[in-house]
Structure 1
């Protein structure tokens, strides 16, 4: 098994890079990115000091080229596309602490330090403005801006990216993306794990009962409920439950939304558990409804198919009790389709659902990622891509391991 897991993990590496590369390139090439939005806002807002306003009716402010260059550097669009992906990964150095300088003119680099770039022919030397000694750790380059003007820039190089757990900074929230993920991800994980456990526990049992009582009134009645649930989106069911069972115009059995009560931190341990259950009931039902019908019908049809096989008839002919035949002989082969589907179910639940989180006002990862998509917050979008890719790959690995465990025809070779 160890060799099999190692092979799958090695296969997951190129899969991970392939998925993230495709998303990265598509997002980078898509029009209307954060740079365009920011430049448009600055132009419509006046552009700040140094802006030139045209007198032509209907025109907008023309921003100084230095402002445009600074914005491109901030969002990383000053680098060619082929460099952006390895920079984002952290395997290619990114330029930090960048300053535009003029030869022979002291430049303040912060903390009361000044440096001077001296030009000797085509060679540039960086020295301390006070001691005149050569300064190490800095690089210098010539470049042309969008207007074709020659510029000299000094900078430092740093390896930082997702492989170093540096996910960047959100331009919308103005804080590191990792902090945002840490505050939102536990919420979505709790809902996802609880919904996953409840869905499989309840749907597997219901599917077994429907297969055993196939054609009975119970089977027809439960099928009607299952298909009604299948036809209702989780977010729509959540909205209906809030109106009917939530506070305000409803019965008031459950809260109108949120993840926990306002006084949660002051509660005792048992009271905290009760508070979570109180807030989790309606959202969990909305989460589970999406996979409720498919899992139940899959379990029922799989068990019905196995109950018609010759080895089951042989077991009954030998005098084995019905419970033993179903739970020992038929169930092992019947849960194979569920095991194969387990990985995708994990991805669906843990990736969260924006619409459900929006309805219940839950500050989860799904809501965060959707808002990042609307605001073109690339740092959050790419981080969400990394998380969903990793969860999907791990889900596929877990699914294969469960499948090999329950199916004797599959071996770890």
Structure 2
């Protein structure tokens, strides 16, 4: 296994390089970069703050020297290969760079936005598994029954409804007409002045609608995967043999079938769990005014904040590659018959 892990770690480097290289090349051909946005703001009389070292002349245009200063500030005065090489050296030190427009470290921005995305991701993850796995088992045991038909219909309907559409409906009905839940934010404005019990209640009160909008469609795949995995195992010979030996149906189901049926679910558990920390739903965060990673990524792309785009891409790709390795290693832990050679 050690040789396999070392081989996979070695393969991560060209994969990570390829992702960064392709993205960097695409970025070079995207119009409206940071310098162009600065010029547009300067011509509109908005300009850039003096803190960045750039001055402007309002409607009279921009001094060519200031344009060169802007290019030097953003690093565009150097050839693209040199900028790419410097970026790789920077990422090798796990330095994600500094935002062009917020003048703050990208790692600091991610750290600040992370709690919002973690709140959405973790609640969605745990509720999805807590609902999907027992529901999938119940559907497999009662396959073909009215319960199976009705729950399948509800799951497919929920899966077909986009999360942001459900979010709009929840906002209109429960946030607007009934006013049962707040319309925006993760907590109330006076949250820090509340007692701990009131803080928890206030937090759950705010997170209820966005999590509901994300959970409804997310657990459909897990529920159907659990059902199909259990149905496949129930039909195998060892289950028939266990029943013939006089074992109870509960013992056969939970001790023998469960161990084998949950292999595809458990092996995907690490990726889903780690992904929950860094999952940012742009539409849900925008709809409920939640300032998370999804909104940060969207705004960085729109504003051409390339350090944020490339820094977050590097971090999330690296986490994804490591998580994929952990998921593959879980196959050995769950099923000792698997051999990597």
Structure 1 segment 147-296 matched on structure 2, within 5 A: 161-246=90-175, 249-296=176-223
- Work out whether residues 96 and 311 of structure 2, in 8 Å CA contact, stay in contact via their aligned partners in 1: yes
1:79 to 2:78 alignment:
yes
Distance in 2 separating the partners of 1:5 and 1:265: 46
- CA offset digits 1:131-181 (Å, max 9, x no partner): xxxxxxxxxxxxxxxxxxxxxxxxxxxxxx333344333233343333322
Distance in 2 separating the partners of 1:366 and 1:270: 29
Distance in 1 separating the partners of 2:62 and 2:30: 23
TM-score by length of 1: 0.74
- Work out whether residues 204 and 296 of structure 1, in 8 Å CA contact, stay in contact via their aligned partners in 2: yes
Structure ranking higher in strand proportion: 1
> 1:341, CA displacement in angstroms?
3.8
Distance in 2 separating the partners of 1:181 and 1:50: 31
Distance in 2 separating the partners of 1:398 and 1:165: 21
Name the count of aligned residue pairs.
Answer: 334
- Any stretches of 5+ residues in structure 1 without a counterpart? 54-59, 92-160
Other structure's SS at 1:294 match: helix
- Work out whether residues 74 and 100 of structure 2, in 8 Å CA contact, stay in contact via their aligned partners in 1: no
Structure 1 segment 9-158 matched on structure 2, within 5 A: 9-45=9-45, 63-89=62-88, 91=89
> 1:321, CA displacement in angstroms?
1.1
Structure ranking higher in helix proportion: 2
Distance in 2 separating the partners of 1:17 and 1:272: 44
Counterpart for residue 387 of structure 1 = 315
Seen in structure 2, the aligned counterparts of structure 1 residues 174 and 16 have a Cα distance that, compared at 3 Å, is: same
TM-score by length of 2: 0.88
Other structure's SS at 1:363 match: coil
Counterpart for residue 362 of structure 1 = 290
Q: Which has the larger radius of gyration?
A: 1
> 1:257, CA displacement in angstroms?
2.0
> 1:45, CA displacement in angstroms?
4.1
Other structure's SS at 2:39 match: helix
Query: Which of the residues 288, 313, 330 maps onto 1:402?
Result: 330
